[in-house]
Amino acid sequence: MLFHLQRHSDHHAHAERPYQCLRHFDTSPQLPAGYFTMYLAAWIPPVWFKVMDPLVAEQMGGDMTKAYIMPSKREAIMRKWHKATPDMSVVAAE
């Protein structure tokens, strides 16, 4: 089930790429624990979001407009994790 899972992110970036051509990058974001541990966390959504929300905010550099957020959760997530900088306001206004 976990065979070559390190190539999974490249599949999302390039869905049309054949499996044999998928790539792994050491600079890609990494999960904070192994896949089995993260499967367990995913079974308990409050645990998953407590672990992953700060990591997503860090990956986005505090600009949560770059992340997909469930519309019903958007306001709360933006309030908690979005760290606007002067440069971001120019992009958001466009």
Q: Is the pLDDT of residue 5 over 90?
A: no
pTM as predicted: 0.67
- Tokens of residue 65, six digits: 């407009």
How far is it, in rounded angstroms, from Cα 79 to Cα 93? 18
How far is it, in rounded angstroms, from Cα 88 to Cα 31? 27
How far is it, in rounded angstroms, from Cα 80 to Cα 54? 10
- Mean pLDDT lowest among 8-17, 30-39, 45-54, 57-66: 8-17
Torsion of CA 53, 59, 63, 64, to 10 degrees: -30
Contact 49, 80 (CB under 8 A): no
The domain segmentation of the chain, as residue ranges, is 1-26, 44-94
Question: Could you report the per-residue pLDDT of 41-72, keeping only the tens digit for each?
Answer: 999 999 999 999 999 999 899 999 999 999 99
